[in-house]
Chains A and B, each alone.
Chain A
């Protein structure tokens, strides 16, 4: 491979690893599974260091090495992970990111400025390590007792050597590896002071496969090597072997965990540990008793964690390394990278295929040849499947996008001095990649806004009887063909009066006009509108909310706000799932055809309305009607009966009155030329099988327009009534 290409791969992968690292760091406070988070962080640093070493990128290696050493301690549990450490590690990840970005910009030489930036971080890392990294095991041994141990089972054992449990897989010998050679190598790293060969897995001689390996070993190793070096000894058999390494002076609870984890007969194994000299007899009986007690009540792991004796991180990190390595490998094998351009091209082709298919379908129907029609309908169903799976290729989970906000929330909450946590729901909700890319900025703005203006200061919160730390919630879910993303805060809510006052002052609203809550809150999306009394450098300049709205509208989406005084504000974004191809429903109006997105349609019913009324009775409920003929000024009169298509958007039903129902239609969305940019209520166009153009209805816009018309009508009626009242009032005087 070309070295340049390899370097590019390194840059891409390292950037992704750093993203993972950041996500894991930010999630560590809430996560249930700390061990795997710590592992992910360690792995990221470890892999970057290793790869950087291959390219001889010394500055990256040197810096990352120190980070890795600290992380290794964290993994072992000798350094507890707390907020300041998370902040420090975030700085580390930032610095690594900047080194890698510099590399991407073609800078391979040492950069004095970068080293200057690194120096304070390194100093703090080294302070954590206590001393020079070379003396690692000794430091571990001293640090272990120093770590807070609340309960007696946190006491370190007396053994001052490493304990290694090896279980070789059946295939080891056949793969050309001899466990003996690893033991010999261990003897080079240090001295094996005790060893027990486990042969309980050995089948009777008659059934024995002489080329399979059935042995396991419990080893006590006296060595000054660090954990990575010992683990490194088994690097070549990691897939074929379970390796568990306990550091010198590990706590008894870790040995318990080892016994429990191996799942073999604990008593026998325990004795083996005594034989190896890793445990004393007293320590063993203590451990076994505690394990038995734990079994009766609840899983062992939980008890230990409750006792605060084991940071799950410690043991899991050592024990599950092999599993982690495997997990790490598998996704690589299961996914491939594809250029977005290639995907786009594929989607375009599928679009053409659908259009061509519709043409063929029409021709087949006209030919009245049954065979052609059958073949064609099978073809059509295949095309539909191809379409769905092609679109599925572009679907990504929103979790990754949400994950980025952990960092935003973490940084901003420090910056503005509020304690705010991020709650993320519906991470698995999928949406089109092109949509994901475009909502990043609007979401960032909304989240910052929620933190800065939404959530009150801690004092104000406590005074209102709310928890001192605020919560920003990101939520995503699917709803009738759209994806809904909510950005919520549990702050003070919007101030209706102030918004109105401001709107009047800016001339956005006539004084004295009655507005619904929704309309009022909607005002914050008007250009140049900001109610924040104080302008911070985050938000409050009145640029932003209108930009948010514009961006979302450009994606054929809508923005809504709900707010509850004292309870918080939620901004609701509704976006189409995909921008390329949709299932549509074709309706006829005079000679033209229109497409309504099928996902929005609830049902079709026969047209019936009180004459001259803009609503009908749908099973006892009022259904407002929109006469599309009037809306689009379709010429000519209706011939025959009209129908109503009931659509649902944002929880509201509306009926569209159309001339004819023409059936489902796979719709390839073609954006309208910019010349038609001002056209309301149309979101795009599509080409029918006949080659004719059909317009795609923008249902949310239609509904909004109808709603405006309605309020205007109500206002007119109200004014008329006022007038009537006024004239009535005048009469007696006259």
Chain B
């Protein structure tokens, strides 16, 4: 398991937090990642950036977390920006027809 490879950091940048997820994003890490996302959304700033560049594998549990994070941010008036880099994430989001929902930077959520 590549849990050890995962490391998240939050640094104040463009008035928001960045949650960086690396390694696997599956049911095995789901709870850990959920806590990180909650912390990221709870942090000050109007934007949350989720950095997925180094995600090596993502499953349904991971996808759910991303959607839930987006909802959670919107609920407190924040926008979520996904930095979707890794091929694994892109493939899964395309398969689920979610590419449009998550890929572009927070533009749709802004209007809400």
- A-side residues, CB < 8 A to B, are 168, 172-174, 178-180, 183-184, 187, 192, 194-197, 199, 202-206, 208, 210-211, 213-215, 217
In the bound complex, residues from chain A placing their C-beta under 8 Å from that of B59 are 173, 178, 180
Cα A179 to Cα B67 in complex, Å, equals 16
A-B contact pairs, 14 of them (CB 8 A): A173-B61, A178-B60, A179-B60, A180-B96, A184-B95, A202-B64, A204-B71, A204-B72, A204-B75, A205-B68, A206-B72, A211-B30, A211-B61, A215-B63
Q: Which residues of B in the span 21-80 have a Cβ within 8 Å of any Cβ on A?
A: 27, 30-31, 33-34, 37-38, 41, 59-61, 63-65, 67-69, 71-72, 75
Cα A179 to Cα B95 in complex, Å, equals 11
> Is residue B12 within 8 Å, beta carbon to beta carbon, of the partner chain?
no
> Is residue B103 within 8 Å, beta carbon to beta carbon, of the partner chain?
no
Query: Chain B contact residues: over half helix, strand or loop, or mixed?
Result: helix
Taking a contact as CB atoms under 8 Å apart, the answer to whether B63 and A208 are in contact is no
Number of A-B contacts (CB under 8 A): 77
Cα A197 to Cα B37 in complex, Å, equals 21
Taking a contact as CB atoms under 8 Å apart, the answer to whether B92 and A199 are in contact is no
Cα A204 to Cα B70 in complex, Å, equals 10
- B-side residues, CB < 8 A to A, are 27, 30-31, 33-34, 37-38, 41, 59-61, 63-65, 67-69, 71-72, 75, 92, 95-98
Taking a contact as CB atoms under 8 Å apart, the answer to whether A210 and B97 are in contact is no
Q: Which residue of A lies closest to B31 (CB)?
A: A210
In the bound complex, residues from chain A placing their C-beta under 8 Å from that of B75 are 204
A205-B71 in contact given A210-B33, A210-B65, A215-B63 (Cβ < 8 Å)? yes
Cα A205 to Cα B67 in complex, Å, equals 9
Q: Which residue of A lies closest to B41 (CB)?
A: A205
Among B37, B95, B98, the residue within 8 A (CB) of A205 is: B37
Cα A612 to Cα B61 in complex, Å, equals 95
Could you tell me the distance in whole angstroms from the C-beta of B71 to the nearest C-beta in chain A? 7
Could you tell me the distance in whole angstroms from the C-beta of B86 to the nearest C-beta in chain A? 15
In the bound complex, residues from chain A placing their C-beta under 8 Å from that of B96 are 180, 183, 195, 197, 217
Could you tell me the distance in whole angstroms from the C-beta of A212 to the nearest C-beta in chain B? 9
Taking a contact as CB atoms under 8 Å apart, the answer to whether A205 and B69 are in contact is yes
In the bound complex, residues from chain B placing their C-beta under 8 Å from that of A211 are 27, 30-31, 61
Taking a contact as CB atoms under 8 Å apart, the answer to whether B68 and A202 are in contact is yes
Among B61, B67, B71, the residue within 8 A (CB) of A210 is: B61
Taking a contact as CB atoms under 8 Å apart, the answer to whether A215 and B95 are in contact is no
Q: Which residue of B lies closest to A172 (CB)?
A: B60
In the bound complex, residues from chain B placing their C-beta under 8 Å from that of A194 are 97
A197-B97 in contact given A202-B68, A204-B72, A208-B34 (Cβ < 8 Å)? yes
Taking a contact as CB atoms under 8 Å apart, the answer to whether A205 and B60 are in contact is no
Taking a contact as CB atoms under 8 Å apart, the answer to whether A196 and B63 are in contact is no
Taking a contact as CB atoms under 8 Å apart, the answer to whether B38 and A195 are in contact is no
Q: Which residue of A lies closest to B59 (CB)?
A: A178
In the bound complex, residues from chain A placing their C-beta under 8 Å from that of B38 are 205-206
Cα A195 to Cα B101 in complex, Å, equals 13
Taking a contact as CB atoms under 8 Å apart, the answer to whether B64 and A208 are in contact is yes
Q: Which residue of A lies closest to B68 (CB)?
A: A205
Q: Which 7 A-B pairs have the closest CB atoms?
A: A210-B30, A205-B72, A195-B97, A205-B68, A197-B96, A210-B34, A199-B67
Could you tell me the distance in whole angstroms from the C-beta of A541 to the nearest C-beta in chain B? 72
Q: Which residue of B lies closest to A204 (CB)?
A: B72
Cα A210 to Cα B60 in complex, Å, equals 10
Cα A285 to Cα B64 in complex, Å, equals 31
Cα A204 to Cα B60 in complex, Å, equals 16
Q: Which residue of B lies closest to A195 (CB)?
A: B97
In the bound complex, residues from chain A placing their C-beta under 8 Å from that of B34 are 205, 208, 210
